[in-house]
Amino acid sequence: MTATPIALGPTHTAPLAEAITRAGGTLVELDRARALVWNGGPDGFPERLPESIEWVQLFSAGVEEWFETSVFDHHPNVVFTSAAGAFAKSVAEHALMLLLAGVRYLPEHLAARDWHRRQLEPHVGTLRGATVAVVGAGGIGRELIAMLAPLGTRVIAVNRSGTPISLPAVVETVPAQQLSQIWSRTDHVVVAAPATADTQHLIGKAELAQLKPTSWVINIARGSLVDTDALVEALREGTIGGAGLDVTDPEPLPAGHPLWELPNAMVTPHDSNPSQVRAPAFAEHVAENVTRFVQGRELIARIDVSAGY
């Protein structure tokens, strides 16, 4: 069986080259390829692709930056896939860390310099028996749900279609159109949805007002999904218990921003998917999709241009 010709760019790396050849591809120049594995961003992407290109694999899981360009419009007959799901375990682990740290009020404990309880007992909680809304039950959301199940957590899973998710811990699946129904019924919220025009400021002042004074909001998706000004106000006034953010709006979060100072806010610099984990995970994702392409099977993480992700 002849190996399938695949181009790799803009940077050739040994792990990606090995993943492509291991999965039944052979590395060739772009003008001879049927597919392109692109490990860069929109800048520098070829303005024109050869007519022979049927599929392009992108490096990022979130593709909002690609929608800001004309790449998809210029290549309507090419299938594009993202890295959605490739990094799910690492990001879900980070989300769980932030949620546990918040529920246990770890920031207050880390700031302490003496042995004093500081009246935290009414706020310190547990995930056992708590209800957590996972908004965006895709790859990351599902991995997080699996991690929450052994802790005895009840999960309200929110996805686009409302198709029931049969995973331990899931007590209800809610379609995105009915998102307004969950805020008053959950103890905590984890945001893992894609960034689109429809998800801009998915959580704002009205949504935060319906949560509990002990609720934690965790965002490991994109900063644009949460109204930063409304969040700062809710944190200052004690409307919610706190926020754990690996993504912010604006990003990078500038020095002196209130989120750096508020004691009930935790900010990590968009590092839920560190490079030492990201590179091998993407290589495995590429290998899986190359195998599927070679065999004529459905590719994973296919980008739906009409949906925006």
Active site residues: 222, 251, 270
Name the DSSP class of 190. E
- Match 């989120």 to its residue by tokens: 259
Encoded amino acid at 53, one letter: I
Side-chain-facing half-sphere of 44: CA atoms under 13 Å:
8
As given in the structure block, the two tokens for residue 271 are 């590092």
Helix (H) or strand (E) holding 90: helix 88-103
Helix (H) or strand (E) holding 7: strand 4-9
Between helices 88-103 and 275-295, what is the axis angle to 10°? 140
- Match 């005895």 to its residue by tokens: 152
Closest CA to 274 of 93, 142, 11: 93
Distance from C-alpha of 193 to C-alpha of 226, rounded to nearest angstrom: 11
Q: How far apart are the first and last CA of the chain?
A: 34
* Dihedral (CA of 213, 207, 174, 309) sign: negative
Distance from C-alpha of 49 to C-alpha of 7, rounded to nearest angstrom: 11
